[in-house]
Structure 1
Amino acid sequence: MKYVIDSKYGVELTSEQFAKASGLFDDLNHHLSIKGVFSGDVAGRVFLSNDGKTAFIANKEGFFVGGCPENIPFLEEINKVLAKEMMPELVANEALDYVLFYPNNGAWETALPHLMKDLLPIRSGRMTFTHDLQDVKPSLDADIVPVDLELLKQQHIIGMDDIIEEIEGNWPSLEVFGEKGFGCAAIQNTAKSIGPGRVRFP
């Protein structure tokens, strides 16, 4: 059942409005799936607080929060969206292994209990990493594509074998990954003429 958040605190954006929230996820811009949602290449939902300072994204990779962590009423409304709509959907699809990504700072650590109340999250450090993003070129944004079965058929793309090997090492088959898995990649042209590209891992 779809839960509509209280309009006193925020709203779910239409795809045409996604750009309003794009600047709130700079701390998580190493996640290609966020850029994919904003570009329309990756399916997702975006919620924005009424003051435009806090946002929440849900896509197949997981959940993401960005912006100001002090909008507690908005986060409590998102908690209701999770509890009453998104979590039951995950249970129904037998896919309750979800991940929440948030900026790595103390303020968000304090806000998380409001967002995850009664959802019984387990903290994990296995997906926590730090790196320098200065060399990430914005020109790659337009070339982010979802890793699906259609992409995996494009054997002419340099690096595709590496992606397939990674999937086969973690999934029973490519078909199962296509049904239940998620991934995205940046394809970069390696020559001035139109031709094979190179797949880069996020």
Structure 2
Amino acid sequence: MEKRPRISHIGSVGIIYPRINPNRIFLERKTGDFPIKLFRHQLNFIGGNWIGESARTDSGPLNTFRRELQEELSLEKTAVSTAELAALGHAPQEIFSMTPALNRPVSHRHRVMLKEIKRIICANCVPFGTFLNTVSKAALDAADPDNKREGFIFLSAYWCMPLDKNRWATLHRLQTNYGNLSNESITLITSLDEMIESGTKTAFGNDRVLPEVFPSLRL
């Protein structure tokens, strides 16, 4: 009998893009000190894993995504903990760090605007699909000669969040004004053409999912 793959991560992420003429997409880029060296400076969808104390009340993948979105997207730059990665075996211990400071003071109006964008995203999630994404030990070893991790398999739920013209314009304005809307990584707005031209890769096995995402959304 064929051995079943052992799933080491369960996650939930969002595909955020403008509903009309969806040629752009809102993503995050992992920082240069991310504990898994293979994923440093790589792109990822907004979201996270079902693990840790804060995940105990998640009733399913959609709640996991909503919780992660609320935690991650913020104009207040607080200390970032690697507790979740440590629990998954990807960091030796919990470490705290800070994402880069914003390039300008934050207005109350913009805080309210981001809060409303998050509310709209959480209220309008549409299922896209669930995928098993694999990252091999060979890939981890190639990026980090000192790697001690085995390869891992992610069970990830993906949700589409198309934003109408005005709300996408608001998100774009906030991203342009502050340069980063995340507490954990660096957010950006990009396109498939820009990703191909720059040669930027995606983290956590999302390279397997993107060929289905872009044609479906006509990105």
Q: TM-score range by the shorter chain?
A: under 0.3
TM-score, scaled relative to structure 1: 0.25
TM-score, scaled relative to structure 2: 0.24
Bigger fraction of residues in strand: 2
